[in-house]
Amino acid sequence: MKFLALDDIATNCAVLKQLARKVFDTETVMTTSPYDALDLCARERFDALIVDYFMPKMDGIEFTRSVRLLKDYDSVPIIMVTIAKEKRLRSRAIDAGVTDFLTKPVCALEFRKRLLESIIDRDAA
């Protein structure tokens, strides 16, 4: 499996990459730029995207809307990582195409469960 981790803070990307490698033994590409992430998605196929909500210039919801327009990304799981528990924000994210949520600080057990469920749900569809 191949994941993409997107967070404007490099340390957070590194934590997500480490969690993914530990839990799934997978390749994880990380970037701090949503524009670079879109470019990567246009060129490569990822099995899941782990996306921060709060980012400058393009937030996680805008990124999700953009990536859902790319070829073959209509069913790729997108897990949004955020500190926000606001129902309105989560509704907007789901409407944009977010599959599930993780709350910061990210727990390894929850990380594994959310990603596994999202990937299994996608494969079952």
Question: What is the per-residue pLDDT for 119?
Answer: 80
Residues near 16 by Cβ (< 8 Å), separated by ≥ 6?
A: 5, 7, 28, 30, 50, 81, 106
Question: What is the per-residue pLDDT for 116?
Answer: 84
CA gyration radius for the chain? Answer: 13
Question: What is the per-residue pLDDT for 12?
Answer: 93
Q: Which domains does the chain have, with CATH numbers?
A: 2-124 (3.40.50.2300)
* Cβ atoms of 90 and 119 closer than 8 Å: no
pTM: 0.92
Give the residue ranges of the chain where pLDDT is below 70.
125
* Residue 84: strand, helix, or coil: coil
Neighbours of 5 (CB within 10 A): 27
Largest CA distance in the chain: 35
Instruction: Classify residue 107 by its DSSP letter.
Output: P
pLDDT 10s digits, 34-50: 999 999 999 999 999 99
